[in-house]
Structure 1
Amino acid sequence: MSGFVAGPPNAGNQTFRLAIRFALRELRGGLKGFYIFIACIALGVAAIAGVTSVSRALTDGISQEGQAILGGDLSFSRIHRQAEPDERAYIAALGDTSEIATLRAMARRIDTGDQALVELKAVDSIYPLYGSVQLQSGQPLEQALARQQDGTWGAVAELALLARLDAKVGDQINLGRSAVTITDVLDVEPDKLSSGMEFGPRLMISNDAVGATDLVQPGSLVRWHYRVRMDPAPGMEAVDALEDDIEATDIGAEWRVRSKANASPGLQRSIGQFAQFLTLVGLTALVVGGVGVANAIRAFLETKREVIASFKCLGATGGFVFQIYLVQMLALALIGIAIGLVIGAVIPFVAGIALSGVLPIKLAASIYPAELGLGLLYGLLTALAFALWPLGRAHDVPPTALFRDIVSQGPKWPRKRYLAATGLTVTGLAAIAIFLSHDKFMATVYIAASAGAYVLLVAVARLIMAAAKRMPPVRSTELRLAIANIHRPGSLTPSVVLSLGLGLSLLVALALIDGNLRRELTTSIAGEAPSFFFVDIQSHERDAFEALLRTEAPESELQSVPMLRGRIVSLNGILSSEYVPAKEGSGWILRGDRGITYDANLPENSDLAVGDWWPEDYSGKPLVSFDAEAAEELGLEIGDELTVNVLGREITAEIANLRNIEWQSLAINFVMVFSPNTFAGAPHANLMTLGWDQDVSPEKELSLLKIVSNEFPTVTAVRVKDAISQVNDLVAQLAWAIRGASSITLIASVLVLAGALAAGHRSRIYDAVILKTLGATRTRLILAYGLEYAILGLSTALFALVAGGVSAWYVISQIMGGTFVLMPVTAAGAALAALVLTVGFGLIGTWRILGEKPAPVLRNL
């Protein structure tokens, strides 16, 4: 009985060990033909392991510097009102307490009248509790903020503010109704990350100086922070538990409480979401690389026809052959995975050095086994998913066919067990990617779209081949040969379309999303948005302020509403911290304070979706109008109740109607609009916008800004164009980062394309030799192959444009609620990239093939 055939009960183990021996012996011949295989796996694994490791390094860095970022072990914050004596006593009992106030204000040069929006921060004498403020001169912060000899208070400013005002250290600037002297430049602010999004440079003053500015009035948008340093400093678990206990008290219901374990939740969420996207991009690169894996295995098995035939003639079963080459594939995959893991492990250290001058925190660079293990798992599953099918097909190929066939006669289905194993592996790969994601819905959509694109690419390749096969004869010999190469058995069409299609589709989608976001910001939104938002207009100043605007800008359009800030405490009796939104990841409205207003009439730029508006003279129980989209995400309906905390009072209102809101215009609008009787007598400030129907010059806008700032120094003016410019810069930086990361997919596509050309090298040599023997010149063959690659590249580019365009449309219109426009430059860029890659790499490979001497090849036919 042959040694390959099953015998005793333990023959299965013996056969597998024998398969391992044969596999390792064959690998002694080197890795020739598998460099693309290894590179594809290594690239995808490195991307996933590197991205997840950098994300972990960032989040660990935030955790390790949580005290400095937060400014204490615990932080209590509230808008509008300082702590009452009993609240201050409760907080102070926890440890050393530092009081800080933050608000937006206008800083103005006394001599020129130039002004700039600043993020004002007033601190006490013991700030900061953790970390250190670094000033350019090196002097202590307390000394820099002290009262100067001329009676003004000192202030320190970021360099950006000095540049905007063309000021220098020693100059005086107006702040509210008083003047302050810039005594130093602020280089490092340890708790800057906890401030959230900022629209202006930092200006820091002493708490004692705030009263003189007259900026803090009833209803002003000032946030009060109380940071606590506990002695001894509690551990992460202890302070986290203390935070939960405090939130269950009356203090926790009114204040926003954070611990050093949750120092910057917004940043951590952003890091997690960005890392999730990049992980999915890395997974896409792995999937694209999987095509290269399948190509490499098919090409390798083609070169092993005689070896496999010999095994089978000696009694080897198909299963034994499968085991030999599965072991070889796993060994090669592990080599690629090991290379990828080494690169992924190094990336956090490199990123830490490269980003040291960019990020406000230090990456906690280390080797993270869990993240590297995730890369290992993804790499193995991807290799198996794309290897099982071609290995399974080799199981049932008879020895005679292996001896006789030079090229495959078309796709053949492997046995059911190999189909099932492939299906299970692919399902497991998708399940892990979804289960480990921050936003499971978006991960599911992304994976479904990628899978759909893959299936469509297979169909597109088949359609291209079918169309080429049914084309009528053409007169050009070169074009006829190109068309024949596209549909012949063993053609490069499926490999080229699959390898480039996914990568180009992803890049087209990202480019269109980026372009549409920029268009929305710079054209649509900027064109519809008002020119100015004026904040903190006190009620006793409102009429005079409006009169000034109508005098200085009579042709402008004004809109004014009362504005308060409130925090949703509960929904239908369920605490907001315990409320589960109807849609995953949709609880943004429950985090922190929200702007709210009241109105007797339906606000502009919105229309009723469900329900009726209250009468102008309504005087019943409090009612609220809610944003329809936000209500759907939270699972709220008309008749539901919500409780908000405003100015220390908890007010419960019934949802009377739902509104569709047009946010894109940036006109005044709020998620929650209450009936006027809800806040009767409550102190509040007013919000006003000013806009023109036609374009006005920047000089006219800045002139109006100067007049308003001089006449009403406590009113904060936000120039919309400046805010949009900042957001546009942020989008641009993010887009470059995403495009850079997504280029990994295109690199994988190029590798797979090169592998596909290498896999077809043998059959192309035969073609070229026969055609040259029959009289074809090198020029005509180059032209024929160039036309073939150009047709394939253009076909792939057209698919990428359609698939990427549909994906971008879905993101812009369905997820972001914007207006999508197809951009022809992007389309031309995709077509050009596909043509350059396919024609360029194709002709490079073809040039080598055309250099082969006919005689040696003909002797072996």
Structure 2
Amino acid sequence: MHGVHPVPAAGGPQPPLSLALRFALREMRGGLKGFYIFIACIALGVAAISGVASVSRALVEGISAEGTTILGGDMSFRLIHRTADDAELAWLRETGEVSRIATLRAMARVAAGGEQTLVELKAVDGAFPLYGEMRLADGEALETALAPRDGIHGAVVEPELLVRLGLEKGDTISLGRATIRIAGTIAAEPDRLSDGINFGPRMIVSDAGLAETELVQPGSLVRWIYRLRLPAGTTATDIERIEAQANERFPLAGWRVQSRANAAPGLQRNIGRLAQFLTLVGLTALVVGGVGVANAVRAYLDAKRPVIATFRCLGADGDFVFRVYLFQILCLAGLGIAAGLVLGMAIPFAAASFLAAVIPVNAVAAIYPAELGLGVVYGGLTALAFALWPLGRAHDVAPSLLFRDDVSAARRMPRLRYVLATLVAVSALAGLAVVLSGDLRISLTYVGATILVFLLLMLIARLIMLVARRLPAPRGAELRLALANIHRPGALTPSVVLSLGLGLSLLVALALIDGNLRRELATTITAEAPSFFFLDVQQGEREAFDALLAREAPGAKIDGAPMLRGRISAVNGVPSDQIVASEGGAWVLRGDRGITYAATKPDNAVLTEGTWWDEDHSGTPLVSFEADAAGDLGLKLGDTITVNVLGRELTATIANFRRVEWESLAINFVMVFSPNTFAGAPHTHLRTLTYADGGGDAREFALLKTLSAQFPTVTAVRVKDAIEQVNSLVEQLAWAIRAAASVTLIASVLVLGGALAAGHRHRVYDAVILKTLGATRARLIKSFALEYAMLGLVTATFAVIAGTLAASFVLVEIMDASFTFLPATAIGAALAALVLTVGFGLIGTWQVLGRKPAPVLRNL
């Protein structure tokens, strides 16, 4: 026949791959009908993974590109409590151009009305900024704005401060023991990103203005940052050499050195964590979409069974048939991957404007081949992992199918080689997720949980079918038909349960995590947390300050502790920067930590190992270490910890481990030392005040007014305000999580639609025969609605259980938080499942019921 190529007989020489490809392409000329869901599922998952990876890369590139501006210099040297001494300052000036800034928290007060607020104070010198542009709203130069006029130093502030205190430009405020004039508002602050989380509006003053406030006292919590502008042409290697030279010449300086290459390490870590999490969510969407891939391939091959049988009758063997349809599936997967890559390329550009309002760094939106390649690999492996099994079953379609049509599509296992190929593809997909993840524990947990949930859903689908088959036949025809549809050969039950179960389990888990974090902030923490933290209470003011608190807040609980800050410089003699620790303990070694000393065990401390020292201990300095952090660092009793405080290195032996309840926001420290460790060291005191009845805004503001008038250098942090700031950050994070979760929900909906389309042929036969026997459209719709409702209810129940267990594990084991089951989330998941299954099921059923009986009956 013209245009038809002979198919080699089975058992003969294998035909070339080009022949199978030619057959595959010719058969695809009929269009993509039945594969739109397939392509959409692959495209959605690839877009999610490549898009998230590209956005993360865009942000990291933006931080790197603006490293000098974000950091405020090519290098920065950060000291706590103290300024650089003469030798250190001389060396810094020999190395490059130096700018010094000081940062601290303080109370800004309106003298007339008594209004006040916490501010993030920054004192700058004449060289600031070394890089970037400091812009004021009125265009005035910073140096001019900060200069004294009529003996009053100027300050520039964020507009939020004026709104909070009801001020205008030109008004004066009290800061410490000085009067400061508001000289302008900040339009752009180049190095703002390097300062981390802020709990109040920014205020910038000059060095001379800071000195007049008298806020800087021995032991005050002030960070002194020396920034260097290095000569043009200084390379990354040169910067590493300068850092090594600084640490070699001044081993006891205790400064934290940063370079333009790691201008915002905390932000980069958080971006990496969020990207890792969102990538796993995108991978879940891809796995959910894989169920749609399997459904689409199965339905397509089911419709092609007569064609496959014809191939076999003409002499083709199963291997040739497998290759023909594998080529088709790979071509279609390629279309889905290409569509996903287009979306993935667009996501960084679309996200750039949104991110600019959330993160003060310009994301470098571009096309990143490596990140897009990651999506390609994930998409290709997903297509293979879920398509090989149904393709393998097509290998053994018998030629006799041409002479006796079988609409039951009886299940059978594919040959061993196809089973092994599927396992290899699944293993490669899981291995890639583990290898490319930044946290081995989280990735292994995720992969294991996904596989377990997948297997459980398959088991549950089989159990549902088994129970439906063994239930006694009910009297109602509609219910009897619904149960029969659930367990018959070729039923939609496995597809519906898998497609909805995975997506809903993830949604429930994310909703419970989000809800518990909000609940923790809004109820538990707020109820248990102190009303105020008071910082920088000087040693000479301590007794008078405590007396005022007792007088102005009778009945309130007052706690306190001496307060210093220092860096862990070594553990057991090993420098901290050479210690490789898990993320759970690495945070303790980064930056400076609050430390204290105590003669007796704090009331809220629970020892887990070791004993407390004697009150009059005067021997080797001892330290009590927080138990969880110690476990993450692999510490044991008798190990030594070296801390750098005020440029001095002090070594103490671990005497005990204790449990700390960080969520209480009470006075807690990672390290509590024996008093003899810091004998003679200048320090301030920390105080907390907790109202038994919660206080209330009026009483808290009145207390603030009284305290600020008598102790202007003490900084008061109102815990409610701090929690509002954290809530704002959680809200921003929640939006990203919800957006990622919605991708999984869309994938679930697509897969559900594909599952219903896969069963379309069987529904047509059922509807036509039942209508011929006298069934009305209303009774058929009722029957199908009952079927979908039962499947949706069982699936939602499983999703609530699985999602609850997953959320509990993440909160308790990974985030070290408490977990509470939230019934509203469970009800919401059940309703979502019922609406999706019944809604989409009835839409498909309505189309089926509209088919004319005659054409179908003629082909039976």
Under TM normalisation by the shorter chain, which class is it?
A: over 0.9
In the superposition, relative to structure 1, how do residues 402 and 225 fare at CA in structure 2: closer, same or farther (>3 Å)?
farther
In the superposition, relative to structure 1, how do residues 248 and 4 fare at CA in structure 2: closer, same or farther (>3 Å)?
farther
Q: Which residue of 2 aligns with 1:772?
A: 771
Letter in 2 for 1:797: A
Letter in 2 for 1:657: N
1:552 to partner: Cα distance = 0.6
1:409 to partner: Cα distance = 5.2
1:354 to partner: Cα distance = 3.4
Q: Is the 8 A contact 1:15 1:320 kept in 2?
A: no
Which secondary structure state, in structure 2, belongs to the residue aligned with residue 107 of structure 1? strand
Q: Is 2:626 the partner of 1:627?
A: yes
1:244 to partner: Cα distance = 4.7
Q: Is 2:158 the partner of 1:155?
A: no
Q: Is the 8 A contact 2:51 2:347 kept in 1?
A: yes
Q: Deviations over 1:507-560 (max 9, x none)?
A: 111111111111111111111111000000000000000000011112111111
CA distance, structure 2, for counterparts of residue 691 and residue 451 of structure 1: 48
Q: CA RMSD in A?
A: 1.5
In the superposition, relative to structure 1, how do residues 651 and 405 fare at CA in structure 2: closer, same or farther (>3 Å)?
farther
Q: Is the 8 A contact 1:253 1:569 kept in 2?
A: no
1:693 to partner: Cα distance = 2.0
Q: Which region of structure 1 is more displaced relative to structure 2, 35-44 or 251-260?
A: 251-260
CA distance, structure 2, for counterparts of residue 615 and residue 251 of structure 1: 33
Counterparts of 1:477-516 in structure 2, within 5 Å, are: 477-516=477-516
TM-score after normalising by structure 2: 0.98
Q: Deviations over 1:254-288 (max 9, x none)?
A: 11000000100000000011001111111111100
Letter in 2 for 1:81: R
Counterparts of 1:624-703 in structure 2, within 5 Å, are: 624-703=623-702
TM-score after normalising by structure 1: 0.98
In the superposition, relative to structure 1, how do residues 253 and 713 fare at CA in structure 2: closer, same or farther (>3 Å)?
closer
CA distance, structure 2, for counterparts of residue 602 and residue 134 of structure 1: 51
* Unaligned residue ranges in structure 1 (runs of 5+): none
Q: Which residue of 1 aligns with 2:117?
A: 116
Q: Is the 8 A contact 1:168 1:182 kept in 2?
A: yes
CA distance, structure 2, for counterparts of residue 227 and residue 278 of structure 1: 35
Q: Which residue of 2 aligns with 1:535?
A: 535
Which secondary structure state, in structure 2, belongs to the residue aligned with residue 54 of structure 1? helix
Which secondary structure state, in structure 1, belongs to the residue aligned with residue 655 of structure 2? strand
1:854 to partner: Cα distance = 0.6
Percent of pairs with identical residues: 62
Q: Which residue of 1 aligns with 2:68?
A: 67
CA distance, structure 1, for counterparts of residue 254 and residue 402 of structure 2: 78
Q: Is the 8 A contact 1:240 1:261 kept in 2?
A: no
CA distance, structure 2, for counterparts of residue 195 and residue 153 of structure 1: 24
In the superposition, relative to structure 1, how do residues 429 and 488 fare at CA in structure 2: closer, same or farther (>3 Å)?
same
Letter in 2 for 1:639: G
Q: Deviations over 1:276-321 (max 9, x none)?
A: 1111111111100000000000000011111111111122111111
Q: Which residue of 2 aligns with 1:726?
A: 725
* Unaligned residue ranges in structure 2 (runs of 5+): none
Q: Deviations over 1:54-76 (max 9, x none)?
A: 11000000000000000000000
Q: Which region of structure 1 is more displaced relative to structure 2, 80-89 or 308-317?
A: 308-317
Letter in 2 for 1:545: F
Which secondary structure state, in structure 1, belongs to the residue aligned with residue 45 of structure 2? helix
Tell me how many residue pairs correspond in the alignment: 856
In the superposition, relative to structure 1, how do residues 248 and 765 fare at CA in structure 2: closer, same or farther (>3 Å)?
farther
Q: Deviations over 1:358-410 (max 9, x none)?
A: 43111101110000111000000000000111111121232224753533454
CA distance, structure 2, for counterparts of residue 764 and residue 249 of structure 1: 82
CA distance, structure 2, for counterparts of residue 403 and residue 308 of structure 1: 13
In the superposition, relative to structure 1, how do residues 322 and 699 fare at CA in structure 2: closer, same or farther (>3 Å)?
same
Q: Deviations over 1:320-345 (max 9, x none)?
A: 11111111100000000001001101
CA distance, structure 2, for counterparts of residue 170 and residue 413 of structure 1: 82
Q: Which residue of 2 aligns with 1:85?
A: 86
Q: Deviations over 1:755-785 (max 9, x none)?
A: 0111111110110000000111111111111
Q: Which region of structure 1 is more displaced relative to structure 2, 654-663 or 231-240?
A: 231-240
Q: Which residue of 1 aligns with 2:295?
A: 295
CA distance, structure 1, for counterparts of residue 538 and residue 673 of structure 2: 20
Q: Is the 8 A contact 2:306 2:401 kept in 1?
A: no
Q: Is 2:198 the partner of 1:192?
A: no
Which secondary structure state, in structure 1, belongs to the residue aligned with residue 16 of structure 2? helix
In the superposition, relative to structure 1, how do residues 559 and 846 fare at CA in structure 2: closer, same or farther (>3 Å)?
same
Q: Is the 8 A contact 2:252 2:649 kept in 1?
A: no
Q: Is the 8 A contact 1:468 1:484 kept in 2?
A: yes
Q: Is the 8 A contact 1:570 1:644 kept in 2?
A: yes
CA distance, structure 2, for counterparts of residue 202 and residue 846 of structure 1: 62
1:243 to partner: Cα distance = 3.4
Counterparts of 1:689-768 in structure 2, within 5 Å, are: 689-768=688-767
CA distance, structure 2, for counterparts of residue 751 and residue 853 of structure 1: 27
In the superposition, relative to structure 1, how do residues 772 and 237 fare at CA in structure 2: closer, same or farther (>3 Å)?
farther
Letter in 2 for 1:116: T
Q: Is the 8 A contact 2:157 2:201 kept in 1?
A: yes
Which secondary structure state, in structure 2, belongs to the residue aligned with residue 809 of structure 1? helix
CA distance, structure 1, for counterparts of residue 246 and residue 445 of structure 2: 39
1:241 to partner: Cα distance = 5.0
Q: Is the 8 A contact 1:4 1:15 kept in 2?
A: no
Q: Is 2:5 the partner of 1:4?
A: no
Which secondary structure state, in structure 1, belongs to the residue aligned with residue 173 of structure 2? strand
CA distance, structure 1, for counterparts of residue 443 and residue 412 of structure 2: 33
CA distance, structure 1, for counterparts of residue 712 and residue 250 of structure 2: 37
1:27 to partner: Cα distance = 1.0
In the superposition, relative to structure 1, how do residues 520 and 358 fare at CA in structure 2: closer, same or farther (>3 Å)?
closer
CA distance, structure 2, for counterparts of residue 172 and residue 369 of structure 1: 55
CA distance, structure 1, for counterparts of residue 576 and residue 426 of structure 2: 39
Which secondary structure state, in structure 2, belongs to the residue aligned with residue 217 of structure 1? coil
CA distance, structure 1, for counterparts of residue 726 and residue 89 of structure 2: 37
Q: Is the 8 A contact 2:642 2:650 kept in 1?
A: yes
Q: Is 2:186 the partner of 1:182?
A: no
Letter in 2 for 1:787: L
Letter in 1 for 2:761: R
In the superposition, relative to structure 1, how do residues 265 and 755 fare at CA in structure 2: closer, same or farther (>3 Å)?
same
Q: Which residue of 2 aligns with 1:827?
A: 826
Q: Is 2:835 the partner of 1:799?
A: no
Q: Which residue of 1 aligns with 2:31?
A: 30
In the superposition, relative to structure 1, how do residues 444 and 252 fare at CA in structure 2: closer, same or farther (>3 Å)?
farther
Q: Which residue of 1 aligns with 2:571?
A: 571
Q: Deviations over 1:640-686 (max 9, x none)?
A: 11110011110111101000112121110100000111011110000
CA distance, structure 1, for counterparts of residue 748 and residue 346 of structure 2: 24
Q: Which residue of 2 aligns with 1:16?
A: 17
1:471 to partner: Cα distance = 1.4
Q: Is 2:52 the partner of 1:51?
A: yes
Q: Which residue of 2 aligns with 1:41?
A: 42
Which secondary structure state, in structure 1, belongs to the residue aligned with residue 578 of structure 2? coil
Which secondary structure state, in structure 2, belongs to the residue aligned with residue 226 of structure 1? strand
Q: Which residue of 2 aligns with 1:304?
A: 304
CA distance, structure 1, for counterparts of residue 402 and residue 723 of structure 2: 66
CA distance, structure 1, for counterparts of residue 584 and residue 380 of structure 2: 31
CA distance, structure 1, for counterparts of residue 195 and residue 507 of structure 2: 34
CA distance, structure 2, for counterparts of residue 223 and residue 408 of structure 1: 75
Letter in 2 for 1:361: V
1:347 to partner: Cα distance = 1.0
Q: Which residue of 2 aligns with 1:267?
A: 267
CA distance, structure 1, for counterparts of residue 701 and residue 177 of structure 2: 20
CA distance, structure 1, for counterparts of residue 715 and residue 136 of structure 2: 27
Q: Is the 8 A contact 2:253 2:647 kept in 1?
A: no
Letter in 1 for 2:747: A
CA distance, structure 1, for counterparts of residue 556 and residue 363 of structure 2: 49
Q: Is the 8 A contact 1:305 1:403 kept in 2?
A: no
In the superposition, relative to structure 1, how do residues 558 and 700 fare at CA in structure 2: closer, same or farther (>3 Å)?
same
Which secondary structure state, in structure 2, belongs to the residue aligned with residue 656 of structure 1? strand
